[in-house]
Amino acid sequence: MSAPIALGELRTLFADFGNRTHVLLAVSGGADSTALMLLAARWHEQNPQTHLTVASIDHALRPESAEECRIVAMRAAELGLLCIIKRWEGDKPAARLQEAARNARYALLAEAATEIGADTIATAHTLDDQAETVLMRLMHGSAVDGLAAMRPVMPLAGLSLIRPLLGTTRARLVATLQAADMAWLEDPSNRNARFERVRLRALLAQLAPLGLDPERLGLLARRAARSSDALEAIAAERFEVLVRREQDCLQLDGRGLAACPADIRLRILERAVLEMRDRNAGSAYGLRLERLEALAAALDQVLGQALDQPLDPGDGQGGPWQRSLGGTLLRLDKSGNLQVAREPERRRGITKTKM
């Protein structure tokens, strides 16, 4: 039987709230987010210097969604909190609906935060959510960055996104609501097995008795995050050593790149592509690890000789070695420099890379 969260735990649980001016609480009305609202309101009684506002997003995917948002607003008012309701307008995609709904939710939350001058958005992701995310990343073959799963604090659209309940189990939140005699809403999609996360939730229940429980998977995420941060710091340092920024491109020292460990090479290439993409407002899609690995493997075939013999940057067909990725064109010259430039307009829109 899980114990409710005690008042004495709130100071630690919401320690990061004290560093914020105005926090927007994302509340759907489910058990997790309702508990977040209740606990944050209790914390706020002793810490009125930080403003709290509730936001509820109507995804318009079910007939009852508008009423659910109204109920959230009513419960927020009972706790002395103002509630903003935002509706996801427009047509809804038939495929990858949960992903689209999640993206829309964060966009609307950021919009609401900007409107009221909030500097932070708080969500109710729990240790159980973290464990499910780790399992999902494992199944998808993620590397250490993916296994780090959700971070307690991360940037979002010029704001901060924080997850104060990421180390707390869902069972403790339910126990907290029950002790307070506060009801919550049930979203039927949370039981729909056509969604991957729902299937993983059932799998996690089977794995927990074997020792692979939320606590153990949460520990894996924290350790992966630690390793990911260390690798990123090394890659950032090496990138600045190897890069030369020009008006319309980046130049990377190919031989220096070849001397880096494989994971650092991947991160340096990713940094170069993303910097040029952002500089030129290029393609909106992110870099898939598989494509980045394919690019690095193709480049390694050429750079592998760079450490002990003259570099031949050809593509085997008489032309310079070049590949495209993420709206950029990467070209290797005879001096061993890897040029990363914006992909020409006539090529843009072609998503297939030469790998």
pLDDT tens, position by position, 172-208: 999 999 999 999 999 887 788 878 888 999 999 999 9
* 34 CB-contact burial (10 Å; exposed 0-12 / middle 13-18 / buried 19+): buried
Higher per-residue confidence, 183 vs 94: 183
List, for residues 205-215, the tens digit of each pLDDT value.
Answer: 999 999 999 99
- Lowest mean pLDDT segment, chosen from 37-51, 78-92, 279-293, 310-324: 310-324
Task: Kindly indicate the confidence band of residue 334, based on its pLDDT and cuts at 50, 70 and 90.
Answer: confident
Per-residue model confidence (pLDDT) at position 280: 57
Identity of residue 254: G
Q: How far is CA 120 from the centre of its chain?
A: 16
* CA nearest to 218, candidates 104, 132, 284: 132
pTM: 0.88
- Lowest mean pLDDT segment, chosen from 151-155, 209-213, 344-348: 344-348
The Cα–Cα gap between 220 and 266 comes to: 22
DSSP H or E stretch at residue 233: helix 214-242
The Cα–Cα gap between 22 and 36 comes to: 16
Per-residue model confidence (pLDDT) at position 98: 82
Higher per-residue confidence, 267 vs 277: 267
> Across the chain, what does the average pLDDT equal?
90
* CA nearest to 120, candidates 172, 77, 83, 155: 155
* CA nearest to 289, candidates 312, 308, 270, 311: 270
Q: Residue 115 in 3-state DSSP?
A: helix
C-alpha distances (whole Å) from 284 to each of 261, 326, 327, 351 are: 29, 8, 9, 12
Per-residue model confidence (pLDDT) at position 313: 58
Task: Kindly indicate the confidence band of residue 20, based on its pLDDT and cuts at 50, 70 and 90.
Answer: very high
Tell me the two tokens of residue 179: 């002790």
Q: Residue 2 in 3-state DSSP?
A: coil
The Cα–Cα gap between 44 and 24 comes to: 13
Per-residue model confidence (pLDDT) at position 354: 33
Q: Residues 204-233: what's their mean pLDDT?
A: 96
Axis crossing angle, helix 170-179 with helix 31-46, rounded to the nearest 10: 70
* CA nearest to 84, candidates 116, 128, 44, 50: 116
* CA nearest to 272, candidates 341, 324, 320, 348: 341
Task: Kindly indicate the confidence band of residue 294, based on its pLDDT and cuts at 50, 70 and 90.
Answer: very high
Q: How far is CA 168 from the centre of its chain?
A: 19
Please check the confidence at residue 302 and state whether its pLDDT lies above 70.
Answer: yes
> What 8-state DSSP symbol labels residue 62?
S
The Cα–Cα gap between 252 and 337 comes to: 5
Per-residue model confidence (pLDDT) at position 284: 45
* Cβ–Cβ under 8 Å, residues 326 and 280: no
Rounded percentage of the chain residues whose pLDDT exceeds 70: 90
